[in-house]
Amino acid sequence: MVLGPAHVLAVLVGLFHAALFVFVGGRFSPRIVPVALASILGAWAGDAVGSRLGVDPIRLGDFYLVSASVMAWLGIGFVTVLSILGPSGEGEDTQ
């Protein structure tokens, strides 16, 4: 099994943006695991989209950094919206 640099950079970029999300949000919550996973997958998908489009002003070798960052934040936003709209788990079966 060969682990390419795009996979490693996607993990690093995804974890950086997840940590930035926690830092800006000001609190650490249990939803950090899905946020980190969505951010990593978003960065990986963003690199793939960037390589298809071919327009990215900031690249690290063959890794498309701007498109990876944008897709990482879209993944973070998706998980955040799902956690807000989903059931809270509080107050169930209180009768």
The reported pLDDT for the residue numbered 90 is: 63
The reported pLDDT for the residue numbered 5 is: 83
The reported pLDDT for the residue numbered 43 is: 93
The reported pLDDT for the residue numbered 7 is: 86
**What are the extents of the domains in the chain?**
5-84
Which pTM was predicted?
0.82
The reported pLDDT for the residue numbered 89 is: 62
> Cα 19 vs. chain centroid, distance in angstroms?
10
- The residues with which 63 forms a beta bridge, in sequence order, are 60
Q: Which residues in the chain show pLDDT less than 50? A: 94
Distance between CA atoms of 60 and 29, rounded to whole angstroms?
32
Q: 6 near 63, Cβ under 8 Å?
A: yes
